[in-house]
Amino acid sequence: MRFQTELVPATLIRRYKRFLADCRLEDGREVVAHCANPGSMMGLADPGLRIWLEPNDDPKKKLKFGWRLVEHEGGHFTGVDTSVPNKALRAAFEAREVPGFEGYTTVRPEQKYGEGSRIDFLLQGDGLPDAYVEVKSVTLSRQNGLAEFPDSVTARGAKHLQELSRMVGAGHRAVMLYLVQRTDCDRFALASDIDPGYAAAYAASSGAGVETLCLSSHITPAGVQVGAPLAVVI
């Protein structure tokens, strides 16, 4: 998935009201950028961070910049836009590049299921069970090389795991897919200290037969691509 317009570097001044960020461009101008991330963004919203913004000239948009990346030492990046994983994964599923899903030929995003929920992807293929795939964007890292989810309490995330368990009970395939939007991590774990309820829901869903898949990302200011599987440490 390539960004629609060329990103520009900036310095983060502050993030506020969850969806807004004051930023300073390299030419000294201060602008307000949209932050497409409702989470805590722990470790990613500190003033002074080098970030990357996507400009737009859409007259329908009040804000002319969107915050897309945080740059770290060593040339590493974190993607902060929570809409990116689904876009990148849709392209990967349609190209049949996701390990374990090569036989699925139909990709249906945002399908209603369960009790008032929507599944990120419903995958279908001849001779294969329907696969219900829920996607979570992973951006938290508190230890070198270790990505964690969630970065705040998520009752909605726990509900999704329960819905996936019901799909397994109905004879379908259900998968919890974590896309790590960081290039500095090589393994994944649950942040059970942040949300014990989510960790308990995960344990129950895993026992019910819900699969776990964690994938890495290739991230640059040009775009984001789905990478290889990462080790899951649960």
pLDDT for the residue numbered 60: 86
Same-domain check for residues 119 and 172: yes
User: How many distinct structural domains can be found in the chain?
Assistant: 2
Q: What is the pLDDT of residues 32-51, one digit of tens each?
A: 999 999 989 999 999 999 99
pLDDT for the residue numbered 26: 97
Q: Which residues of the chain have pLDDT under 50?
A: none
Residue 3 lies in a domain: no
Residue 22 lies in a domain: yes
Residue 1 lies in a domain: no
pTM: 0.95
pLDDT for the residue numbered 114: 84
Residue 148 lies in a domain: yes
Could you tell me the CATH number of the domain that includes residue 110? 3.40.1350.60
Which amino acid, residue 37? N
* End-of-domain residue from the set 39, 59, 79: 79
Question: Could you tell me where the beta strands, DSSP code E, fall in the chain?
Answer: 8-16, 20-25, 30-35, 50-55, 65-71, 77-79, 106-113, 117-124, 131-138, 140-143, 145-149, 173-180, 185-190, 211-220, 223-229, 231-232
Task: Give me the residues paired with residue 71 across strands.
Answer: 77
Same-domain check for residues 59 and 93: no
* End-of-domain residue from the set 79, 109, 140: 79
Could you tell me the CATH number of the domain that includes residue 22? 2.40.50.580
